[in-house]
A and B are shown apart, each in its own frame.
Chain A
Amino acid sequence: KNQVEQSPQSLIILEGKNCTLQCNYTVSPFSNLRWYKQDTGRGPVSLTIMTFSENTKSNGRYTATLDADTKQSSLHITASQLSDSASYICVVSAAPGGSYIPTFGRGTSLIVHP
């Protein structure tokens, strides 16, 4: 069964600090992994998309890594800002031949305090 597990479930950090969110998956065959940011009351917004051959991708202060061998990904946030307070969702899609329907993680709730 395809699964995506995220940790921690929630995280509180001080403004300006760095943090790393984790995502482990069992989706097979693997196609791509996406990280989304979801502000409260809003739809998810894509941060990064990585395919099998990519092991790191950055989007401003957000850097995602992918280890396809261990089936792990991380999202690193540098110099956090109050506006980073949101839920971060890891989503993994299977390759053609598998189910196109992506598998969503439960998300990590990040709170950045001043």
Chain B
Amino acid sequence: SAVISQKPSRDICQRGTSLTIQCQVDSQVTMMFWYRQQPGQSLTLIATANQGSEATYESGFVIDKFPISRPNLTFSTLTVSNMSPEDSSIYLCSVAGGAGGTYNEQFFGPGTRLTVL
């Protein structure tokens, strides 16, 4: 299985500011995803992070608000820009398709708990 770490684990931010969340995997993976989980809700996919090209965003999410980078097969960042209280949520990094693994297996990081005041 893949071991995923996220930084920061939590943060409290002021509205109008931006926060960049880092996701590091202990092995090379084919696919990396960013999810949002609002209180009491299930996971909502924000985007698929593509190595060396622009991320693929889901409906309702745009690059200007959630810029994503993926410089290699083990690392990605998600930035939450110009934050408002509605952005308060848990942000989760997820990976699939690692060496020796299959796309059936999807692993999640521990999440970043963001509170916007």
Measured CB to CB, the residues of A under 8 A from B are 31-32, 34, 36, 41-46, 49, 51, 89, 91, 93, 100-102, 104-107
Contacts and interface: CB of A to CB of B under 8 A. Distances in A.
A44 B103 CA distance: 17
A42 B110 contact: yes
B43 A34 contact: no
A93 B106 CA distance: 10
Give the secondary structure class of B's interface: strand
Contacts of B43: 44, 89, 104
Interface extent on B, as a size class?
Answer: 20 to 34
Contacts of A51: 104
Contact of B104 (A41, A42, A93, A101): A93
Contacts of A46: 105-107
Nearest to A91: B106
A106 B41 contact: yes
Interface of B: 4, 31, 41-45, 48, 58, 90, 92, 94, 103-111, 113
Contacts of B106: 34, 46, 91, 102
**Which among A42, A44, A46 has the highest number of chain B CB atoms within 10 Å?**
A44
Contacts of A89: 42-43
Given A32-B104, A43-B92, A51-B104, A107 B42 contact: yes
Contact of A41 (B94, B107, B111): B111
Contact of A43 (B44, B58, B105, B108): B108
Nearest to A96: B103
Contacts of B111: 41-43
A5 to B, nearest CB: 11
11 contacts: A36-B108, A41-B111, A43-B4, A43-B94, A44-B92, A46-B106, A46-B107, A89-B42, A89-B43, A91-B106, A101-B48
Contacts of A101: 45, 48, 58
